[in-house]
Structure 1
Amino acid sequence: MGLLESDVAKDVTTAGFTIHYNEAGPVDGVPVLLIHGGGPGATGWSNYNPNIGELADAGFRVIAPDLPGWGGSSEVDFVDYEPLDALCELMDALGIEEAAFVGNSMGGHTSIRMAIERPERVTHLVTMGAPLQLKPFLFGAAGPSEGIKIMYQGYSDHSPEAMRRLVEIMVYDVERFATPELCEQRSEAASQRPEHLANVAKAGIRGPIPTWADLDRLHEITAPTLLIHGRDDRVVGFEGTLFAAARIADSRVHLINRCGHWAQLEHADEFNRLVADFIAHH
């Protein structure tokens, strides 16, 4: 039997937030923070349930939080919310000085900002489908991607049918991953905290990313960096990952064919091996 969410779910109160998180692995293991993306219904568990147990079994102290504004954590106003503060408060509350940051989509972008702005807290940087605010337009010259448009629709309509459209745009292998069970799960998770979705929608096109990384500072990242991207990602094109790799000195790219926006779910075994080996040997 695999790991259950009830086995690893915890809560902690920091100076500014109540944060729900999942933790597994030895407390003296190398800390690995898994930072989820920004789609409606996203949580630490929904983004990383095939990865938490495997990385914990590899000897890491694995922590997958619900960022404030998501899941079981505090409500926030995305207009002036600073996710880096929340992550640092979580680390302080758990007695963690520095950690490997692993982030999908919005979580990858947040991890990039951590590596630039608070490098003393980051030992390794791993991203999957991280968006960058490439000029002249967000996510490319044609404006928001097909996937971003569908994701934003999900903030106001989180029915199972809307979540199916969301999941279908997130993955390459629709038949395998866009199951009725997953769509129902995402719909239920979104419905439990409608105030979270309303706050994202209220923020407009900036949505769940109140502050964008300064791309002119990418070269300042010194943490060993692994940039993973699905070749078939219809939410965030892989060009942004190549852009980052060209500017981060100690970086490498892993591009996966037949893979959408959720590399950690669609190719979980490969992802777990890559991340465990990268953190252990760099």
Structure 2
Amino acid sequence: MPALLLLHGGGPGVDAASNWASVRAGFDGEFRCLAPDLLGFGTQIAGTGGLKGPRAWALARARQVLDLLDRHGLDRVHLVGNSAAGGAAALALLSVAPDRVDRAVVMGGAGTGGLPATVPFYDNPTRRSMRATLGRLVADEGVQEGLLDELAELRLKQAVRPGAEAAFRSMFADVVGGPPPVDPAKITNPVLALHGECDRVQPVEVSERLAESLPHGRLHVVAGAGHWIHVDRPDEFTKLVGEFLSA
């Protein structure tokens, strides 16, 4: 059974289990799934104080993934990378260790759309602010109201853990120098870029540019989905990912 590494997104208070809950069961019969908490989130907050800026975080997470693969004895895996944390880590891994990856799917622009204008949630760390932050990730908040309310409670608790805010702010810090940016033109693995038609976090054009710059890139815009494609369209998401990775 091929191995599939699910790399979660980068919103405040996220963890792997809650990020992939809507689609994990849809992959389990076809792939051996691994879904780690990425550095700076969930169980991986401690010991990340030396990192600053999105490129440094993406590279550190790529190394984290390589360590994970080695521990599990996995020579090659498929990747699914969500947004500015998992997507950026996936691109970094494809850049530094392409021989360890077969195919990859990245979502929501994979962090290539630039830094956010403001850091979400932490300037006003309340349940209401968390709920509003999560609401922007789906196409229709009314349809996902129950899930959003549940996740707001969970992610609020995780977002205020010791060290979480400092780590989060450093992920999006605008720094001079540091690791060079990933050059998509040098990534030779097949990559599918998925983007929700109704994404309110990043415009579709971000993934269009990314797919065009990848030598073996392909873009698929998911009709009616927001930034959280896997939540808004879980069945379509698992079908698209499964067909691409099995091609």
Tell me if TM exceeds 0.5. Answer: yes
Q: Which amino acid aligns with 1:184?
A: E
Question: In 1, are the aligned partners of 2:122 and 2:165 still within 8 Å (CA)?
Answer: yes
- Identity among equivalent pairs (%): 29
Provide the residue aligned with 1:163 in structure 2.
130
Q: Which structure would you say has the larger RCO, counting Cα contacts within 8 Å and 6 or more residues apart?
A: 2
Q: Which residues in structure 2 correspond to 1:69-80 (within 5 Å)?
A: 69-75=40-46, 76-77=48-49, 78-79=51-52
Q: How many residue pairs align between the two structures?
A: 235
- For residue 2 of structure 2, what is the aligned residue in structure 1? 30
Query: What's the CA shift for 1:266?
Result: 1.1
Does structure 1 conserve the Cα–Cα contact (< 8 Å) formed by 2:138 and 2:228? Answer: yes
| Counterpart Cα distance in 1 of 2:215 and 2:25 | 31
Alignment of 1:188-227 (within 5 A): 188-191=157-160, 193-202=161-170, 205-206=173-174, 213-214=181-182, 217-227=183-193
SS of the aligned residue for 2:103 comes to strand
117 and 270 in structure 1: CA distance in 2 versus 1, 3 angstrom threshold: same
Q: What per-residue deviation string (whole Å, max 9, x for no partner) do you get for residues 100-155 of structure 1? A: 11011121121112112211111111011034546xxx36xxxx35xxx3xx2323
Given the two structures, how large is their TM-score scaled by the length of structure 1? 0.76
Contact map agreement 1:40 1:158 (CA 8 A) in 2: no
User: Which residue among 110, 120, 124 is the counterpart of 1:153?
Assistant: 120
C-alpha distance in structure 2 between counterparts of 1:271 and 1:212, whole Å: 32
Matched, 1:271 2:237: yes
Q: Which secondary structure does the structure 2 equivalent of 1:265 belong to?
A: helix
Greater than 6 Å deviation, 4+ residue runs: none
Distance 1:158 1:50 in 2: 26
Distance across 1 between alignment mates of 2:158 and 2:22: 18
Structure 1 alignment gaps of length 5 or more:
1-28
Give the residue type in structure 1 aligned to 2:165.
L
TM-score (norm 2): 0.87
Say whether 1:49 aligns with 2:49: no
Q: Aligned equivalents of 2:83 and 2:206: distance in 1? A: 11
Q: Which moved more, 1:193-202 or 1:34-43?
A: 193-202
2-structure distance, mates of 1:203, 1:37: 12
CA distance in 2, matches of 1:231, 1:211: 32
Partner deviation per Cα, 1:172-197 (whole Å, 9 max, x = no partner): 11112243222212212323x23122
Q: How large is the RMSD of aligned CA atoms in angstroms?
A: 2.1
Equivalence map 1:68-147=2 (5 Å): 68-75=39-46, 76-77=48-49, 78-79=51-52, 81=57, 82-106=60-84, 107-133=86-112, 138=114, 144=116
Question: What amino acid does structure 2 have at the position aligned with 1:195?
Answer: G
Task: Give the secondary structure class of the aligned counterpart of 1:194.
Answer: coil
Q: Is the 8 A contact 2:138 2:232 kept in 1?
A: yes
Give the letter aligned to residue 103 of structure 2.
Answer: H
| 1:183 equivalent in structure 2 | 152
